Amino acid sequence: MFPHASTPSLEDEALAAKVRAFVLEKVIPYEKDSRNGAHGPTDSLRRELNTLAREAGILSPHVSREYGGLALTHQQRAMVFEAAGYSPLGPIALHCAAPDEGNMHLLEKVASEVQKERFLRPLAQAEQRSCFAMTEPPPGAGSDPSLLATTAEGDGQRFVVNGRKWLITGAPHAGFMILMARTLIRGEDRGATMFMVSLPNPAVHITRLLDSLDSSFTEGHAEVAIENLEVTANDVLGEIGQGFRYAQVRLAPARLTHCMRWLGAAERAQDIAKAHARTRQAFGSAIGHHEGVSYQISDNDMDLHMSRLVTRHAAWTLDQGDSGGFVSSRAKVMVSEAVYRVADRCVQILGGLGLTADTIVVQIFREVRAFRIYDGPSEVHRWSMGRKLLRADKQEKA
């Protein structure tokens, strides 16, 4: 039997409705705030929004109750994160945006109790932010993590890290960094290791902020130089040499929560386009009465519905204890491409208005285009899925 998501409870629906109302009433008015600029919201705006979510009892809803959250399942997150995503600032307010949401998940799964108190608790309570430093400028690691060039050299107890990272989301004013480096112990390559690094640190330098297509992540994306950073075995997250394995613990759920949030944004674009189609007059009637526009609105509805189904199925799969690598890749490709089509059609429906910042559709269009690149471009996910599908067929025939 084909597995499917469970029916949401009345409590789950009420929570999602509460979040949607919070976004409409409290968050959307901040979208034109001067602190929300080309490199995303500032940390001061983030803190102000977090305070509102804390007062509403919906801050960090994905985290366990031990750390102040609501301990939502992946299926519950699908509903709540979609509701939060109705504004690009919604996930920032609820503190369930990348990279913090993924880092919280990773720390709950892998960190020691000491590390959880030092890093996870203040992060979950939005007292600080975090960043995740794996991606490197060419010729370092990007879609191919085996190209990891940053090194941590030492004797197993003490290490010195050197390297460069880029597209590090939220690095300015972050309270700590999860840093991935190739580990060399007395010259022997022991594989990739994750290190916990408190920030600011004199050995970690932000060399520039990148001007990027998207603008919804707090403090934007930075290029970072790591020069003679001293770390110890106590700073290792999990075990030495297990960094790539832990990256999958983080990335499979994280790419799925991106689907949830951008699905909410695409729904916002669709709502704006429908409202425009009802009132904008051309050639003797509202443009929504013309087939060229009504077809696009219908196609949007189908893409949104498909995206919601594949996302919630993947969430159900994760809730069953599956690692979710294949289903999250499938959802990431399908949803990232579908919500882009939705946003593109909405720009077209709005016409000249869609090219301006008079509505948020133009920002949503930019944001969802970037989604097809980060957390693995569509081509890499398709390639990975194809290998798994062919391997499965071969095993079945053996």
- Residue 250 near residue 318, CB atoms below 8 Å: no
- Residue 360 near residue 32, CB atoms below 8 Å: no
- Residue 70 neighbours by CB distance under 10 Å: 17
Q: What are phi and psi of 331, to 5 degrees?
A: -65, -40
What is the torsion angle, in degrees rounded to the nearest 10, for the CA atoms of residue 205, residue 150, residue 135 and residue 96? -70
Which pLDDT score, from 0 to 100, does residue 397 have? 47
| Residue linked to tokens 């957390």 | 375
CA-based angle 311:59:61, to the nearest 5? 40
Which pLDDT score, from 0 to 100, does residue 8 have? 87
pTM for the predicted model, two decimal places: 0.95
Which pLDDT score, from 0 to 100, does residue 183 have? 98
- Residue 338 near residue 386, CB atoms below 8 Å: no
Which pLDDT score, from 0 to 100, does residue 251 have? 87
Q: Catalogue all structural domains in the chain, each as residue range(s) with its CATH number.
A: 10-124 (1.10.540.10), 130-239 (2.40.110.10), 244-397 (1.20.140.10)
Token digits for 33? 């705030």
Alpha-carbon distance 93 to 244, whole Å? 30
- Residue 210 near residue 221, CB atoms below 8 Å: yes
Which pLDDT score, from 0 to 100, does residue 392 have? 79
Which pLDDT score, from 0 to 100, does residue 398 have? 43
DSSP H or E segment with residue 327: helix 325-350
- Residue 164 neighbours by CB distance under 10 Å: 17
Residue 357 buriedness (CB in 10 A; 0-12 / 13-18 / 19+): exposed
Q: What are phi and psi of 373, to 5 degrees?
A: -105, -55
- Residue 339 near residue 310, CB atoms below 8 Å: no
- Residue 99 near residue 169, CB atoms below 8 Å: yes
Token digits for 262? 């951008």
Residue 396 buriedness (CB in 10 A; 0-12 / 13-18 / 19+): exposed
- CA atoms 41, 44, 50, 52: torsion sign: negative
- Residue 173 neighbours by CB distance under 10 Å: 17
Over the chain (398 residues), the average pLDDT of each successive run of 10 is 67 97 98 97 98 98 97 98 98 98 97 98 98 97 94 98 98 98 97 98 98 96 98 98 94 94 98 98 97 98 98 97 94 98 98 98 97 94 95 64
Q: Is the peptide bond before 88 cis (omega within 30 degrees of 0)?
A: no
